[in-house]
């Protein structure tokens, strides 16, 4: 019984060691070198208001990204597009 516990302890040690090895290799960050521009001003096509890109609601239509000041404007835009 004691030997069994000893084996468990060894197993746990090996496990933590392996975990440490895997953790030491840094995972590549998602998105790579993409750095978002935070305070670029974008125009809302519905109400013609300029808003910071970080605050805007985005909608992609036909490969073009549109920015909106609010969900209401985004909905308005979708309604007009149909
Ligand atoms: Zn708007």
Per the structure, the complete domain to which residue 28 belongs is given by: 2-81
Ligand 1 centroid, distance to 78 Cα (angstroms): 13
In the block, tokens 């909106």 appear at: 68
Per residue in 17-32, pLDDT tens? Answer: 888 877 766 666 665 5
Q: What is the number of structural domains in the chain?
A: 1
Ligand 1 centroid, distance to 31 Cα (angstroms): 29
How far is residue 63's CA from residue 34's CA, in Å, rounded to a whole number?
18
How far is residue 66's CA from residue 69's CA, in Å, rounded to a whole number?
10
Ligand 1 centroid, distance to 60 Cα (angstroms): 16
Per residue in 40-61, pLDDT tens? Answer: 999 999 999 999 999 999 999 9
Ligand 1 centroid, distance to 62 Cα (angstroms): 20
Ligand 1 centroid, distance to 42 Cα (angstroms): 11
């Amino acid at each position: 019984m004691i030997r069994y516990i000893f084996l468990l302890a060894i197993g746990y040690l090996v496990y933590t060691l392996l975990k440490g090895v895997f953790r030491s290799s840094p995972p590549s960050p998602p998105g790579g070198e993409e750095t978002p521009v935070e305070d670029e001003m974008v125009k809302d096509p519905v109400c013609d208001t300029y808003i910071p890109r970080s605050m805007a609601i985005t909608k992609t239509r036909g490969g073009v990204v549109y920015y909106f000041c609010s969900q209401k404007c985004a909905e308005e835009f979708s309604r007009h597009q149909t």
